[in-house]
Structure 1
Amino acid sequence: MFDAATTALLRAVLDEVCVNVTRHETGARTLVATKILECVTRGETSPDVLKQAGRETLSDAPAMWR
C-alpha cells in the first residue's frame, strides 16, 4: 500500500484529470486511475507526469467514456 501522502497525491491527480468526468462514469475514471497507479508503481511521483499520463489515457478512452 501507499503512504498517506502518496494516496493524497493520487486522489488529487485523479480528481484534477477527471474534473469533467462525472463520478458515475466509472469506466473512464477506473482507466485513468489504473494508468496513474501503473506510473506510481514504477516509481514516478511527479504530479505533472502523473497528470500527463492520466490525460493521455483519458483522451485515448472510448468516446462514450468522455
Structure 2
Amino acid sequence: MFDPATIALLRAVLDEVCEEVSRFESGTRAHVASRILGAAMNGDTSPDRLKVIGREALHKAPTMWR
C-alpha cells in the first residue's frame, strides 16, 4: 500500500496534530488518522497539506460532550 517513508510521514503527522490529545481518546485519534489516511490514499502526501487536513479533522472530531 504505502512505502515505509510514507508510513513514517503519516505517523509523524498524526502524532503532531494529536499532540494535545490523550492516547486514551482513541475515537478522536482514529477520526483524525482516517482523514489523513484518506488524503494520502488520494495522492495528497504533502506534509503541510496533511497537517491542515488533520487539524481540520481534529476540530470537527465528534466528542461525547457535543
* Same fold at TM > 0.5: yes
CA RMSD in angstroms comes to 1.3
* TM-score, normalised via structure 2 length: 0.91
* TM-score, normalised via structure 1 length: 0.91
Deviation at 1:63, TM superposition (A): 4.3
The equivalent residue for 1:33 is 33
Larger helix proportion, structure 1 or 2?
1
The equivalent residue for 1:23 is 23
CA contact (8 A) 2:28 2:63 kept: no
**Gaps (5+ residues) in structure 1?**
none
Question: Among the aligned pairs, what percent are the same residue?
Answer: 62
**Gaps (5+ residues) in structure 2?**
none
Q: Deviations over 1:11-41 (max 9, x none)?
A: 0000000000011100000000000001001
Equivalent runs, 1:1-66 vs 2, <5 Å:
1-64=1-64
